[in-house]
Structure 1
Amino acid sequence: MTESRLLNLLKGKNVVYITVKNEDYIRTSQIKWILAENAKKFRIYSSEKGNPVTRAIDIRKKLRSISFEGVDVVIAGFLPQLIWKDLIKYTLGTGIIVIAEMFISLYDTVVLDRRLVWKRGIIAHICKLFDRTVVKKSDYIITDTKADADFFVKEFGTEKDREKFETLYLEADLGDYISANVVLDKNDDAEPKTVLYFGTGLPLQGTDYVAKAFNVLAEEYGYNCIYIGGLSNMNRKHKNRLLSCKDRAIRCGKGSITYYKWLGQKELYENIANASVCLAGHFDPDIDKADRTIPGKAMIYEALGKTMILGDTKANREIFEPDDKHIFVPRGDSKRIVKAVTNEVDR
């Protein structure tokens, strides 16, 4: 990673990282090794609860017992909006530099992405207020893309606030896994060909387009397709078909489809390593957030040296260029996903 203002703030300092996310999340792991390389000493507080609300409640309870004596820097991560009021209560007036690691916006996620509430309603207003408070009151702000930084400044701040922002792209730290388990640049000429996708099923991921592409790839082209993860926002027809393939390969025309609800990290990486090509995304054409965020899975594919299919977005183009390993397709077009896969795998 290149030298940055963030690293200068962390070097030789006593740092506390508090994140409204689990310990093995890709961003948590990334911040951990950055602190290990730069901070004098550090502590990390995370939560293993099942959703952002319960994790925020858990972290707010932990804050009561965290000692901030001698701490130079506090980083509040993933959804600092949900713990901001409590965090400031313990750090205000102490001289501690408070960094907001704004991985996501409440307003963007709840209102624009998932469309859970009316855009002009009171809940939307509260979400925007939470976002604006963090942008205004933090000393420094980390985002995962430049496009997101632009969005946060436009929606919740002013051009003066832009000076606070720095982009820290996701990087997958696979530890000893690569050297111990994965042979990079492996020979993909062996049959059968395998296409893999994993994700949580968020709307911006465009999983309907993945499912449509998988059906064609399995039935007409004979590929073995593996889908790992959430189905909550998928068309019922596609969802039911994948559920019928749960935990075992189901023959679909010439090929097969396998659906796993969840895999452990080692199993996930093994499946990725053995795939011929991986789908990264984001593929939804109507959600603006899809254009501004880089799929975390793309960083894992990159670390494992895999060829990937990427949605053609501003965010993806910030760090990837079209080449043999990075194939861009228009969002919202399952036929182009199929074409990209078949051209790449069979050439």
Structure 2
Amino acid sequence: MSLAMRIYFSGVVNGSYRAQNILKTISDAGIAFTYNPMTYFSLEMKNKYLRKILKFFCFIFFVPFRLILIAYSTHVFVLPMNTNMMSIVDIFVGRILNKIIIADYYISQYDTIVKDRKLVSENSLRGRFALFKDRFLLKAADIVIFLNESEADYYQKVVGVNIRREKIRIIPLCVDYKREMFISNQKDYESFNVCWWGTYIPLHGLENLIRAFSHIGNDRIKLYLFGDSNEKAKPYVSLIKSLELTDRVFINNDFHFSNGKLAPILAGTCDLAVGNFGSSDKAKTVLVNKLVDALSFGIPCLTIKTSATTELLPNNEGLIITESNPESIAFKIEECFNKRSTLNEIGMSGKKKYFDLFSPDIFRIKLLAILQE
């Protein structure tokens, strides 16, 4: 396999753990590959218009080189979160040259900007273009990798495309190993720390979680929010102040897995993780990353039931299920506090599921199996 196969990777790697894991798996397996990082010259450029101009000229400059690389490759592999015009061109060239096209369909760009975040309307130029790119990716690829069957069905419905079942492959979310996963920490039983981490997007229903704390009377129960942006956190800061929860709900946007600060905090002090409380169709379908993070640490996770959690965690391994309204969330948090002696067993069942389904070893096995077909 490693002698005959040559893979051309299309898209951007920076900031995507899944893309990094794909490249690592291919490299460790000894498979020849090439990667053409179009953003190399523009990553540090702050002005978005100059950045676009530079990308355009880089694209023109690299076209002959890209054509040669694709022509010499056996596969064109579109990395996750790369539904962009450059990848569309790579796929188009790959189809003409009869290459095997693999696309990791991590999320739908159309669903994200139109349905979920509502940044543009479906009839806008940007919305229609995003729909075109999503549809092209699904139709043109020989193999489409989804995170789970539930999301495969959901995204096809959203973009209005039905692809053949034999084109679909499933590789669930993957969370890298961290040293904190293998260290047993003694929690402080004087307090009960509920932790949320991630990006400030509507999918998570974060406002429902914050409002839940206005229904919790126990001052020993605290909520810690580890986000990614001081600017995007402002509406939640205002909500916390308006509900007079500043002594029990805290925001910190400086702790991330990428800088090594978040993992020790979660492993050492987090009693209960929280997942997704959104109300959109997407929120009711997907398995959010932070839920898998929680499983990997053996921390029980409070979340709503989704199609993907039912599919991948049929016995609610590592999960405590609630409705998305603040009252139900508050009731479950207080119940967890009162029955905290049972949480370790729930967390350990989730950790076992992590090793069985979401670990780098399982990711590697599944990806290589697809390439060996």
Q: TM-score, normalised by structure 1?
A: 0.78
Given that 2:226 and 2:256 are in contact with CA atoms closer than 8 Å, whether structure 1 keeps it comes out as no
Query: Given residue 128 of structure 1, which amino acid in structure 2 is its aligned partner?
Result: L
Residue type matched to 1:292 in 2?
Answer: T
Quick one: which of 237, 243, 261 aligns to 1:267? Answer: 261
For residues 53 and 254 of structure 2, what CA distance do their matches in structure 1 show? 25
Aligned match of 1:132: 135
- Where does 1:1-347 land on structure 2 (aligned, <5 Å)? 13-20=5-12, 22-23=14-15, 25-38=16-29, 40-43=31-34, 49=43, 61=58, 64=63, 67-68=69-70, 70-82=72-84, 83-88=86-91, 90-156=93-159, 159-174=162-177, 177-178=178-179, 181-184=180-183, 186-188=185-187, 190-217=189-216, 220-230=218-228, 236=235, 238-240=236-238, 252=247, 256-265=248-257, 266-274=260-268, 275-281=270-276, 283-285=277-279, 287-323=280-316, 325-331=318-324, 333-347=325-339
SS in 2 for 1:163: helix
1:160 & 1:106 partners in 2: Cα distance? 18
C-alpha separation between the residues in 1 aligned to 2:189 and 2:328?
24
- Secondary structure class of the residue paired with 2:88: helix
User: Could you say which structure has the higher strand fraction?
Assistant: 1
1:317 and 1:140 mapped to 2: Cα distance?
25
Kindly provide the amino acid, as one letter, of the partner of residue 314 in structure 1.
Answer: S
Cα deviation digits, residues 174-219 of structure 1 (max 9, x gap): 2xx32xx4445644463322111011111111110122234555x6
DSSP-derived class of the 1:289 partner: coil
**1:84–1:77 Cα change, 3 Å:** same
Against the structure 1 CA distance between its residues 69 and 242, is the aligned structure 2 distance closer, same or farther, given a 3 Å change threshold?
farther
Counterpart of 2:275 in 1: which secondary structure?
strand
Find the aligned partners of 2:335 and 2:311 in 1 and give their Cα distance.
24
SS of 2:195's equivalent in the other structure is strand
| Equivalent residue letter for 2:203 | L
Deviation at 1:341, TM superposition (A): 2.2
Number of equivalenced pairs: 320
**Residue-by-residue CA offset, 1:32-52 (whole Å, 9 max, x unaligned):** 34324545234456669499x
Report the Cα distance in structure 1 between the residues aligned to 2:53 and 2:107, rounded to whole angstroms.
18
Residue pair 1:197, 1:280 contacting (<8 A) in 2 also = yes
**Deviation, structure 1 residue 108:** 0.9
Cα gap change, 1:321 to 1:87, in 2 (>3 Å): same
| Residues 1:39 and 1:214: Cα distance change in structure 2 (over 3 Å) | farther
Following superposition, the deviation at residue 59 of structure 1 comes to: 7.8
- Which deviates more from structure 2 when the two are superposed, residues 205-214 or residues 272-281? 205-214
**Percent same amino acid at aligned positions?**
19
- In the alignment, the residues of structure 1 paired with residue 311 and residue 330 of structure 2 have an alpha-carbon distance, to the nearest angstrom, of 24
User: 2:18 corresponds to which letter in structure 1?
Assistant: R
**Residues 200 and 311 (structure 1 numbering): CA distance in 2 closer, same or farther, change over 3 Å?**
same
Relative to structure 1, the CA distance from residue 43 to residue 187 in structure 2 (aligned partners, 3 Å threshold; closer, same or farther) is: farther
| CA pair 101-323 structure 1, distance change in 2 beyond 3 A | closer
Within 2, Cα distance between the matches of 1:91 and 1:203?
36
Is the helix fraction higher in 1 or 2? 2
Whole-angstrom CA distance in 1 between matches of 2:226 and 2:250: 8
Provide the C-alpha distance between the structure 2 equivalents of 1:313 and 1:41, rounded to a whole number of angstroms. 39
Q: CA deviation at 1:58?
A: 8.2
**Where in structure 1 are there 5+ consecutive unaligned residues?**
1-7, 245-249
Amino acid in structure 2 at the alignment position of 1:336: S
Shift in alpha-carbon separation, 1:190–1:106, aligned structure 2, 3 A: same
For residues 4 and 195 of structure 2, the distance between their equivalents in structure 1, rounded to whole angstroms, comes to 42
Task: Say whether the 8 Å CA contact 1:135–1:161 is kept in structure 2.
Answer: no
Q: Distance in 1 between matches of 2:28 and 2:53?
A: 30
Partner Cα distance (1:277, 1:78) in 2: 30
Give the counterpart letter for 1:306 in structure 2.
Answer: I
Label 1:183 to 1:168 Cα distance change in 2 as closer, same or farther (>3 A). Answer: closer
CA contact (8 A) 1:242 1:259 kept: no
TM-score, reference length from structure 2? 0.73
In 2: Cα distance, 1:161 partner to 1:203 partner = 32
CA spacing shift, 1:59–1:162, aligned 2, 3 Å? farther
- Rounded to whole Å, the distance in 1 between the matches of 2:90 and 2:96 is 12
Give 2:345's aligned residue: none
CA displacement at 1:92 relative to structure 2: 4.1
Q: Which residue of 2 aligns with 1:247?
A: none
